[in-house]
Amino acid sequence: MNMNFVINIKRMKKAIILSVLLIGITSGLFAQRSGLGVGVILGEPTGLSVKKWTGSKTAIDAAAAWSLTGEYIHFHADALVHSFALSVDEGQLPLYIGLGGRVLLADKPAIGVRVPVGAAYHFDAAPFDMFLELAPILDLIPDSDFDVNGAIGIRYYL
């Protein structure tokens, strides 16, 4: 494995730890759940996650992450549509589906299409959301290949 690749993964891990600390320090500040959310995504891959609400039911999310096996770095961006049909006693629990793309930087780089499906819990009393997501992926370049990513995450809204 390329030594620069390993060094870059170590730098990304340090950036995530710093981001989590900053979120923890500022968690006493209450912000709206609209706007920009910044946090972490844990799973395959693991990394930094952002989400920007563009309307009352629409958002764009993105992530920069690395494989737990250390074999690749992953970037994705998705357009999401949310349904608030489920009711819960406190907070909100929207389901969502999206369409987006991903770039995989590895020994064999790839570009593909993602269809994320998930659920997010929005807290009433704090500017956080937690989410669970599965994303089937169809790589198109350089070859056709099917994969699935799965993750849980948390974001703080600025």
Total number of domains in the chain: 1
Check whether 133 has a pLDDT greater than 80: yes
E strands within 17-94?
A: 36-44, 46-53, 58-66, 72-83
Main-chain dihedrals φ then ψ at residue 85, nearest 5 degrees: -70, -30
Say how far apart CA 62 and CA 94 lie, in whole Å.
18
Write the CA distances from 44 to 5, 81, 118, 134, integer angstroms.
18, 23, 15, 10
pLDDT digits (tens, 9 = 90+) for 69-118: 878 999 999 999 999 998 899 899 999 999 999 999 999 999 999 999 99
pTM: 0.76
Residue 138 neighbours by CB under 8 Å, 6+ apart:
112, 113, 144, 145, 146
Q: Which CATH number goes with the domain that contains 104?
A: 2.40.160.20
Closest CA to 93 of 122, 117, 129: 122
Phi, psi of 33 (to 5 degrees): -85, 0
Q: Residue 134's CB: how many other CB atoms inside 10 A?
A: 13
Domain that residue 73 falls in: 3-157
Name which residue leads in pLDDT, 111 or 125: 111
Q: What is the pLDDT of residue 32?
A: 39
